[in-house]
Amino acid sequence: MSEPVLSVSNLRTVFHTDRETIRAVDGVSFDVGRGETVGIVGESGSGKSVTARSIMGLVESPGEILPGSSIRFNGQELTEFDDAQYREIRGSGIGMVFQDPQKSLNPVYTVGNQIIEALEENQDLTGEEAREEAIDLLEAVAIPDAPRRLDEYPHEFSGGMRQRAMIAMMLACDPEFLICDEPTTALDVTIEAQILELLQELQEERGLSILFITHDMGVIAEIADRVNVMYAGEIVETAPVEELFASPTHPYTEGLLDAIPGRQDGSEQLRTIEGDVPTANEAASHCRFAPRCEHAFDACEQAHPQHVEVGPEHTAACLLYPGEKSRSERVEHHRAQAETGGDHE
């Protein structure tokens, strides 16, 4: 594969509070290749949205990206960027689509105004030219009757239309990389299908690379090429999408898939994962999933699991692997990796 568009390595984003330091993202690494869609899936509190915000430079005090983290976009190190440089990259390189378009559109300007503003800002188009381009963009995101819609306010749009307008606005910046943070979660299923289809079309037409964040395994299965499963600030498993669904390896991924109604036989009881997602407030010296894991053994509380290859382009961070070794060998393997692998602290 050629040079990835985005390469995140050992990203650690923490939030300081009076009492403790919350390690929202704790040593996350992944790549997004050109034209690829990479998914991050996890439950609330897993750190998936903070990962997105860290890449976009939207982490504000009391949050902090710790030294040693690296986010490389087209070869540039984003963690060294200042505000002005970040604005530049948000205006042209990276676009972001949020869950709630209501919050990202300004209610007192027409949708057209906002798109035209983005065009003026980023593509130096003005007047009639900008208006024409704005109409083209609204049509590109399949908003019917685009010329009239341009003069309407966000509240006159339905939820799905607003999300389309948001995407049009983002396309005005002509990005090559798109971060979608739960873009369809607030939408009805028929509208969700439209938006997913739209994103896939745009990706093909414009050669976009996408980082797609969601809690919905169904959406991930539909849109992603590769999937990263996050738990309590860490990626616990990563694999190509078909591989992940066919042979989930980490006990957390297995649990997550088993908890979805309809994955098993209709008659079975849903499997549940006991307990809740913990808040990571100190450096991991153990497996954060161990307290909820039915396969956990003593060492899970003492050694921090490292990523181990378990299949083609498929790794999982769990002391059960590599499966061909004995338990004590495995624990040794993970301990040694943790020391030499340059993993945090």
Partner 1 sequence: MSQATQRHDDTDEETLIEVRNLEKYYGDDGMFSPPPVKAVDGVDLDIKRGETFGLVGESGSGKSTLGRTLLRLEQATSGTVSFDGTDITTLEGSDLKRWRRNAQIVFQDPESSLNDRMTVGEIVREPLDAHDKGTERERRKRVMDLLSRVGLREEHYYRYPHQFSGGQRQRVGIARALALEPEFVVLDEPVSALDVSVQAKIITLLEDLQEEFDLTYLFIAHDLSVVRHICDRVAVMYLGKIMEVGETEELYEDPVNPYTKSLLSAIPRPDPTDESERTTLPGTPPSPRDPPQGCQFSTRCPAKIRPEGFEEVSEETWDAIERFREIVRERTRVELGTVDRVKRRAGLFSKYDDIDEAVKDLFDGVERPPVVDDHLTYAVEQVKAGHPQDARERLHEAFGSVCDRERPAHHQVGDRGRESYCHRHREEYDDVESAIRR
Catalog residues that contact partner 1 under the rule CB under 8 A: 43-44, 135, 139, 144-148, 158-161, 188-194, 196-197, 215-222, 224, 241-242, 245-246, 255-257, 259-263, 266-267, 269-273, 276-277
To partner 1, the closest distance from the beta carbon of 86 in angstroms equals: 31
To partner 1, the closest distance from the beta carbon of 143 in angstroms equals: 10
The token duo for 333 is: 């393997």
Question: DSSP per residue over 60-92, as a string?
Answer: -TTEEEPTT-EEEETTEEGGG--HHHHHHHHHH
CA pair distance 145, 275, nearest whole angstrom: 50
CA pair distance 141, 109, nearest whole angstrom: 20
Judging by DSSP bridges, how do beta strands 209-214 and 94-97 pair with one another? unpaired
To partner 1, the closest distance from the beta carbon of 260 in angstroms equals: 5
**Do residues 70 and 10 touch, judged by C-beta distance below 8 A?**
yes
> Helix H segments across 105-247?
111-123, 127-140, 146-149, 159-171, 189-206, 217-223, 241-246
Between 139 and 176, whose beta carbon lies closer to partner 1? 139
To partner 1, the closest distance from the beta carbon of 222 in angstroms equals: 5
To partner 1, the closest distance from the beta carbon of 247 in angstroms equals: 12
Between 271 and 286, whose beta carbon lies closer to partner 1? 271
Judging by DSSP bridges, how do beta strands 209-214 and 37-41 pair with one another? parallel
To partner 1, the closest distance from the beta carbon of 137 in angstroms equals: 13
CA pair distance 105, 177, nearest whole angstrom: 20
Between 27 and 255, whose beta carbon lies closer to partner 1? 255
CA pair distance 34, 71, nearest whole angstrom: 16
Between 196 and 331, whose beta carbon lies closer to partner 1? 196
> Which residues are CB-neighbours of 309 under 8 A, at least 6 positions away?
315, 322
Between 71 and 171, whose beta carbon lies closer to partner 1? 171
CA pair distance 142, 137, nearest whole angstrom: 9
CA pair distance 46, 288, nearest whole angstrom: 11
Between 17 and 302, whose beta carbon lies closer to partner 1? 17
Between 220 and 290, whose beta carbon lies closer to partner 1? 220
To partner 1, the closest distance from the beta carbon of 157 in angstroms equals: 10
- Cβ atoms < 10 Å from Cβ of 312: 8
Phi, psi angle pair for 9, to nearest 5°:
-140, 130
Between 19 and 326, whose beta carbon lies closer to partner 1? 19
CA pair distance 265, 194, nearest whole angstrom: 29
Measuring CA to CA, which residue among 57, 49, 80 is closest to residue 67? 80
Between 93 and 112, whose beta carbon lies closer to partner 1? 112
To partner 1, the closest distance from the beta carbon of 51 in angstroms equals: 17
Length of the chain in residues, anyone?
A: 345
To partner 1, the closest distance from the beta carbon of 327 in angstroms equals: 27
